[in-house]
Structure 1
Amino acid sequence: MSVAIALFTRDLRVHDNPVLHAAARAAQRVVPLFVLDTGITSGAFNRPNRAAFLADCLADLDHGLRERGAALVIRRGHVAAEVCRLAGELDADEIHVAADVSGYAARREAALRKALAPRALFVHDATITVVPPAAVSPAGKDHFAVFTPYFRRWLEAPKRKVLRAPSSLRLPDVDTGELPGRPDIATGEIAPELPQGGEREARRLLRSWLADVGDYPALHDDLAADGTSRLSPHLHFGSLSPTELVSKTAKSTDFVRQVAWRDFHHQVLAANPAAALHDYRTKHDRWRRSAKDLRAWREGRTGYPIVDAGMRQLLREGWMHNRARLIVGSFLCKTLYLDWRLGARHFTDLLVDADVANNQLNWQWVAGTGTDSRPNRVLNPLRQALRYDPDGDYVRRYVPELAGVAGAAVHEPWRLPAEQRAGLDYPPPMVDLPSGAARFREARGI
């Protein structure tokens, strides 16, 4: 009987999965395979929050496959070697995998092609993104460097149809291996309020979001309202299909636009893999070095409550509201004038939704070394706080030292009466905002 391997990477779902769909159509028996890649598990990108979420996703994927008569096959080692070994054992005719854009993904695909020849390797676009990175491009160029014209073309680009989950699957006689639990791969401290992973949880969140998405234009920047989908971790791990998400939220242009930003960054990285570590558009910055300032920022002890609330949310949940990400990023790069790579590395350590394309390129956007058309803009944290957390509820939620400070006064605790200030275990501002902005403008020569 014919055998095909569906190699899962960042597409950990049974619904709307082109890789699984194609493998099931190609062969009588399907091997749903995930390789715990030692190139990742032994490296800096394997961090406790994402590892724990991954373990949840794998367990739930196994559940979904078993409901259909199969199971998730687990192997540990180098991906190409393990896939090649299993293909040889089972005489698999075809191997299917999702296309991805990072330098690591490109090397993995090249290694698979070399190891598997002459077996057929099929790489499926529009699995991790809605529109494949190279599907739209400006005349004479390989990618868009500005989002707005990209989004116009993205909206017009053909989208594939949402695929049904297979009703049944037949697994060949194979050792499925041992499904990893959180303790097996999530070594280190996990955020106490880390969200749960897995396709069932993703689909539950999606159902809830479909009832709320109409409020997105009014609430998406409201920090206290938390009016975002919270689906970014599931998009990162592929426990939810971005194509299905867009198809079900198509009437909310504001929300769909945010999903398109994700595709935009993927096409930038696909064309410029070096942007993961180097300036996309260099400003020749000579970044300050201050371990003390960096530590205060990481710990949420900058003395600016809106910044500290965002950093404390990250520590508590392994996630941060998008508006808060912009505020804390601008504060690090443009008020403290510290290297964006330090912020990106900290987010990589803690964010459950951190991937190379969105994390690195969003940091470059904030730092003014990426695709922002106004690279020297500085977000004033006080103005941002009063606009997006006017009553201070977001700050009080994450900075318990200030829980007793009423209203907008929580954003400027240094202005409180001396006797009230004395009772707060909260630091004074670590930098004067006008001085920080002036330092940035001088460094950039503006």
Structure 2
Amino acid sequence: MATAIVLFNRDLRVHDHPALVAACERAERVVPLFVLDPAVPAGNRQGFLLECLAELRAALRARDGDLVVRQGDVVHETMKLAAEVDATTIYAGADVSSLARRREEHLARERIEYLRFPGVTVVPPDALRPSGGGDHYRVFTPYWRAWTRHPRRPVLPPPRTVPTPPGLTAGRLPPLQPPGPVPGGEPAARERADRWLRHGLDGYADGHDDLAGDRTSRLSPYLRFGCLSPLELARRAERSEPFVRQLCWRDFHHQVTYAFPRICRENYRHPERRWRQDPDALQAWQAGMTGLPIVDAGMRQLLAEGWMHNRARLITAAYLVKHLGLDWREGVRHFFEHLLDGDVADNSGNWQWVAGTGNDTRPNRTFNPLRQAKRYDPAGHYVRRYVPELAGVPAPYVHEPWRLPSPPAGYPARLDGAADQG
């Protein structure tokens, strides 16, 4: 009797799950598995992840299956379970980070069939090659053209049954944490996607840069954990090219990371520069205490919600690397720790793009934070929402650099030169 393990990673769903569907079609017994690896810090995402796993377990149990949860090294625990259930094949979704690739290489060397399936991106990260040569696209616009023409696989329905063998110890999930600002799991993801596609998508082109309006989908945490299929979302959102283009940017960063797995540690291109060392300035930026309102608002939103508006991400990142001259890797680490959608490919790719070390064709591009604030938060509502100290300041002045009346110990009231930057 053939037994298969389905190793879940960043694909915590049952809809459009190619690895799960293939296992249920080919094997007589299917063992869904997730391994909590204590060596991989989850940061602010731990509570969200546990909710996702609880919902995935419920969905599998509704289909006569279960989610086996183990703790430890992913390769070791997977092979240990494979020996326990006499599995002949491991099915898994392919991923792009250096950690994921090392796991895949180790599993592929084991004496068991190991099969990788798409599902983390709309188009598999190794599917497109530039016509002029090279193993991946380095510039977005030609990638976008190739991406839009590439044939799509069908969106797969969830399996009717997941025949998990009886008597298997499923393992306990760690206790759920207090509810966060965003509920985790596939049901919440699909509900939010349905609501967004009905009521938000058509206004996306005009409103996605409106900081105060918050007219973005906020689906990125669900895409990061695979609670939503990016392919299914792209198909359902195809009437809005600007939104689909954002999904293509996500795929673009994944194919870059697939080709350059060191993207979170090393410059993708351009020689290493000498970055400033200023722990006080870094700490002030992390806490949203720089004295530049639009930057402080974005950083405080990150700490409060585990999320930040995309326009604010650009502004705050550019402030760190272009105005303060601090290393982009400091920003990568801080964002990755706090973002619910913290993802190696997107987080690192976007930071390198802003820093001029990545895929931006204009590496010397700068963002004037005051000009950006007045353009995308003209009435100052976004700033006042997250910097309540400025609640009474009128619109013409709310974006001007400010001085805290009594700054906490360790934080400068205003960074030197803040009024002159940009």
2:117 and 2:11 map into 1 onto residues whose CA distance is 11
Q: Is the 8 A contact 1:401 1:424 kept in 2?
A: no
1:199 to 178, 186, 190: 186
Where does residue 155 of structure 1 map in the other structure?
148
Asked if 1:123 corresponds to 2:116, the answer is yes
1:432 to 398, 417, 422: 417
Where does residue 330 of structure 2 map in the other structure?
342
Where does residue 384 of structure 2 map in the other structure?
396
| CA shift for structure 1 position 283 | 4.4
2:88 to 84, 89, 93: 93
- The residue type equivalent to 2:64 in the other structure is G
| CA shift for structure 1 position 66 | 1.1
- The residue type equivalent to 1:280 in the other structure is Y
Q: Is the 8 A contact 2:35 2:70 kept in 1?
A: yes
Where does residue 242 of structure 1 map in the other structure?
230
In the superposition, relative to structure 1, how do residues 435 and 306 fare at CA in structure 2: closer, same or farther (>3 Å)? closer
1:68 and 1:193 map into 2 onto residues whose CA distance is 28
Asked if 1:180 corresponds to 2:174, the answer is yes
| CA shift for structure 1 position 308 | 0.3
Asked if 1:228 corresponds to 2:212, the answer is no
2:309 and 2:211 map into 1 onto residues whose CA distance is 7
Asked if 1:307 corresponds to 2:309, the answer is no
In the superposition, relative to structure 1, how do residues 16 and 436 fare at CA in structure 2: closer, same or farther (>3 Å)? same
- The residue type equivalent to 1:135 in the other structure is A
In the superposition, relative to structure 1, how do residues 215 and 94 fare at CA in structure 2: closer, same or farther (>3 Å)? same
1:46 to 29, 36, 42: 42
Aligned residue runs from structure 1 range 161-172, under 5 A = 161-172=154-165
In the superposition, relative to structure 1, how do residues 215 and 285 fare at CA in structure 2: closer, same or farther (>3 Å)? same
Q: Give the superposed CA RMSD.
A: 1.9
1:177 and 1:394 map into 2 onto residues whose CA distance is 44
1:142 and 1:331 map into 2 onto residues whose CA distance is 33
Deviations 1:39-91 (A, max 9, x none): xx234x321x2111110100000111111111111111212222112222222
1:176 and 1:423 map into 2 onto residues whose CA distance is 55
Where does residue 5 of structure 2 map in the other structure?
5
1:142 and 1:410 map into 2 onto residues whose CA distance is 48
Q: Is the 8 A contact 2:291 2:404 kept in 1?
A: no
SS at match of 2:397: helix
- The residue type equivalent to 1:46 in the other structure is A
| CA shift for structure 1 position 193 | 5.0
1:108 to 96, 103, 109: 103
- The residue type equivalent to 2:42 in the other structure is N
Q: Is the 8 A contact 2:404 2:414 kept in 1?
A: no
Q: Whose helix proportion is higher, 1 or 2?
A: 1
- The residue type equivalent to 1:393 in the other structure is H
Q: Is the 8 A contact 2:208 2:216 kept in 1?
A: yes
2:129 to 131, 137, 149: 137
| CA shift for structure 1 position 436 | 4.7
2:418 and 2:267 map into 1 onto residues whose CA distance is 25
1:19 and 1:406 map into 2 onto residues whose CA distance is 55
1:401 and 1:367 map into 2 onto residues whose CA distance is 30
| CA shift for structure 1 position 422 | 9.1
Where does residue 209 of structure 1 map in the other structure?
196
Deviations 1:126-163 (A, max 9, x none): x1011111111112101111001100000001111110
Where does residue 350 of structure 2 map in the other structure?
362
Where does residue 60 of structure 1 map in the other structure?
55
Q: TM-score, normalised by structure 1?
A: 0.90
SS at match of 1:256: helix
Where does residue 22 of structure 1 map in the other structure?
22
Aligned residue runs from structure 1 range 284-303, under 5 A = 284-303=272-291
1:178 and 1:423 map into 2 onto residues whose CA distance is 49
Percent identity among equivalent residues? Answer: 53
- The residue type equivalent to 1:390 in the other structure is P
2:80 and 2:281 map into 1 onto residues whose CA distance is 50
In the superposition, relative to structure 1, how do residues 163 and 304 fare at CA in structure 2: closer, same or farther (>3 Å)? same
- The residue type equivalent to 2:122 in the other structure is V
Structure 2 residue runs without a partner (length 5+): none
Structure 1 residue runs without a partner (length 5+): 184-189, 415-420, 438-446
Deviations 1:290-343 (A, max 9, x none): 011001101101111100000000000011010000000000000001000011
Deviations 1:148-207 (A, max 9, x none): 110000000111111001122221021111122335xxxxxx9x8531110011011101
Q: Is the 8 A contact 2:401 2:418 kept in 1?
A: no
- The residue type equivalent to 1:201 in the other structure is A
Where does residue 187 of structure 1 map in the other structure?
none
